[in-house]
Amino acid sequence: MPELPEVETTILGIKPYLIGEKVRDVVIRYPTLRFPIPSNLASLLRHKTIKDITRLGKYILCSFEHGTLIMHLGMSGRMRILTNPQQPLKHDHCDIILTNGITLRFNDPRRFGAILWQEGLDPRQHPLLKNLGIEPLSRQLNSKYLAKLANNKKIAVKSFIMDSKNLVGVGNIYATESLFLAHIHPLKPAGKISQQEWHRLATSIKTVLRLAVKAGGTTFRDFAAPDGTIGYFTVQLHVYGKAGLPCPRCGTKLKSVRISQRSTVYCPHCQRR
DNA sequence: CAACCGCCCTGGGAGC
DNA sequence: TGCTCCCAGGGCGGTT
């Protein structure tokens, strides 16, 4: 499932083929993603030039002079660069065809992804981007920021760091891994986390994400890079998906608990409440 | 407002 | 082999 590192990898992969290129056409085969793909997308983009490809949280922003194409990979979304025409396969919902002959193809079996349009210069005006928190790999993420935001909150720390209003791009896998590395129990109320613990957590979130970006995404189950490479288990996961196995640090049997409908693995010895 | 929970969706794996 | 059931989960939107 694409988390921030997978989004980063996707951008790195598609960017060189797209920047400065002009859109010839847009083909929508199956508009009902998480939100409907705007039906007028082709007329919005035709003959327009792609200025840049950037990222805001897990949203991929493809900017034009008159607005921004906002794309989200959801759970199973994937983008491919096709250098020559290919028959669309199942779940190939949308193509963006450029005048240089290249096609950006969006595939998403579970259809939790999204393709949206925001008119104007500031993509942050889009309702989905308006309330996004800080970037985890920026200097803004530090113990001071987290402690201030968590003040008195009772919400489980895991849910807190996965809430995009607080910080973006930390999904279930990396939240689980970060908490393990920081020796923090995932159910501990956010308001009860000490300054020292916040420091460890901020550090481990950055470490985990940086390592994963470097490895080209966790590529755990559904993810493939734009060139089609599938790198299963390129990142060493310590606890995610390993409930019942011994803790890599102390050997205690790893436990599993569901937190807001998400499976969460932790070590009952290393991560105390 | 804070916290929580249901829901959207399909493929893959387990169990029978 | 083939069927059924369950699980994976980002994030919105509704409820408490």
Say if residue A97's pLDDT is above 60.
Answer: yes
**Which of the 93-112 residues on chain A come under 7 Å of nucleic strand C at their beta carbon?**
110, 112
Arithmetic mean of pLDDT, A86-91: 86
As ranges, strand B nucleotides with an atom below 7 A of a protein CB are: 2-11
Is strand B within 7 Å of residue A192 (CB)? no
Residue A259 pLDDT greater than 60, yes or no: yes
Span A150-168, average pLDDT: 92
Strand B atom within 7 Å of A34 CB: yes
Residue in A58, A78, A80, A158 annotated catalytic: A58
Whether the CA torsion A162, A184, A177, A268 is positive or negative: it is negative
* pTM of the shown model: 0.90
> Cα-flanking dihedrals φ and ψ of residue A172, to 5°?
-60, -40
pLDDT of res. A219: 43
Å between CA of A172 and C1' of B15: 27
Strand B contacts in A 158-187 (CB under 7 A)? 159
**Catalytic residue at A246?**
no
- Maximum mean pLDDT: which of A17-26, A73-82, A150-159: A17-26
- The pLDDT score that the predictor gives to residue A207 is 93
Determine which of A115-129, A206-220, A223-237 has the lowest per-residue pLDDT on average.
A223-237
State yes or no: is A58 an active-site residue. Answer: yes
3 state SS for chain A: CCCHHHHHHHHHHHHHHHCCCEEEEEEECCCECCCECCCCHHHHHCCCECCEEEEECCEEEEEECCEEEEEECCCCCEEEEECCCCCCCCCEEEEEEECCCCEEEEECCCCCCEEEEEECCCHHHCHHHHCCCECCCCCCCCHHHHHHHHCCCCCEHHHHHHCCCCECCCCHHHHHHHHHHCCCCCCCEHHHCCHHHHHHHHHHHHHHHHHHHHHCCCCCCCCCCCCCCCCCCCCCCCCCCCCCCECCCCCCECEEEEECCEEEEECCCCCCC
The distance (Å) linking the CA of A83 with the C1' of B12 is 31
